[in-house]
Amino acid sequence: MNDKQLVISAKGLTKKFGDFVANDHLDFDVFQGEIFGFLGANGAGKTTAIKILCGLSIPTSGDINVAGYDVYTETEQIKSNIGYMSQRFSLYPDLTVSENIRFYGGIYGLGWKEIKQKRKKLIEKLGLVEERNGLISDIPLGWKQKLAFSIAIMHEPKIVFLDEPTGGVDPVTRRMFWDMIYEVSESGTTVFVTTHYMDEAEYCNRVCIMDEGKIVALDTPEELKRNYHAQNMNEVFIKIAR
């Protein structure tokens, strides 16, 4: 991994809300093209960390760089260089497929020509040609999710943050979704994903397990399983959490 370019570097990332420490001195590096998994129970501090990395929230202390920009002073540049998708898919149900693509392309500053080109490709790739002028509320959940992901990477960000992207989706669709993630990562985009599905953790290049605001483990899934003498990531997680 060391020959790869560093895209996220966090040293001593700390975020406090009053007396409550949501992130306690997190140290991690993420490299270009990597699929980096962020695991942890609800309330472990995943969302707080992801907000800081997306430039939404200023950390209390720590040196943090995202896509080469500082999270304290260069949040604008960070925002232009990342993509983001949350559990809720973030599409407008009362707009059509085309309109959603156009809108999100627009807010990332893409030109109309570029949007049109990309939209055509994207719609063909996802097989939504017939539904292109149908409202988002009328298309199935699996497609919505794939569309949301495609839209999140439409402006070709260096890093894409996925905050529990597969929540509430059936296993088949989840598997297909991960195929898309692999494809994106092969093209050189870094994928930073949070999840609490342990089987998904196996798909990541490296995972970082959080508990009560601290990083308790950070390694490849294979190493983690070996170190904890576990069959799968689920066992790893249970052993660590205990």
Partner 1 sequence: MKSFFGFVKKEFLHIFRDPRTMLVLFGMPVALVLIFGYVVTNEIKDIPIAVLDHSKDEMTREITQKIISSGYFKLMAELTSSNDVEAMMLKGDIKEVIIFEPGFAVSLQKDGKADVQLLADASDPNTANLIVNYTKGILFDYLNKQNQAGTSYQFDTRVRMVYNQSLKGVYMFVPGTMAMILMLISAMMTSISIAREKELGTMEVLMVSPLKPFQIIIGKVIPYIVLSFINAVVIILLGFFVFGLPVRGSLVLLLAENLLFISLALSLGILISTVSESQQVAMFISLFALMLPTILLSGFIYPIENMPVILQVISYAMPPKYFIIIIKDIMIKGEGLGLVWEETLILFGMMIFFLLIAVKRFKTRLE
Closer to partner 1 by CB, 151 or 236: give it: 151
User: Which of positions 131-150 make contact with partner 1 (CB under 8 A)?
Assistant: none
Would you count residue 122 as binding partner 1 (CB under 8 A)?
no
CA gap 24, 225 in Å, rounded: 25
Q: Which of 95, 98, 99 is nearest to 132 (CA)?
A: 98
Residue 238 is a binding residue for partner 1 (CB under 8 A):
no
Interface with partner 1 includes 58 (CB under 8 A)? yes
Specify the residue, 58 or 129, whose C-beta has the smaller distance to partner 1.
58
Does residue 20 bind partner 1 (CB under 8 A)?
no
Is 234 near partner 1 (CB under 8 A)? no
**Shortest spacing between CB 240 and partner 1, in angstroms:** 29
CA–CA distances in Å: residue 74 to residues 23, 66, 187: 21, 9, 26
Considering the complex, state which of residue 79 and residue 196 has its C-beta at the smaller distance from partner 1: 79
Stretch near partner 1 under the rule CB under 8 A, chosen from 64-72, 108-116, 126-134, 214-222: 108-116
Stretch that binds partner 1, among 99-107, 168-176, 185-193, 227-235 (CB under 8 A): 99-107
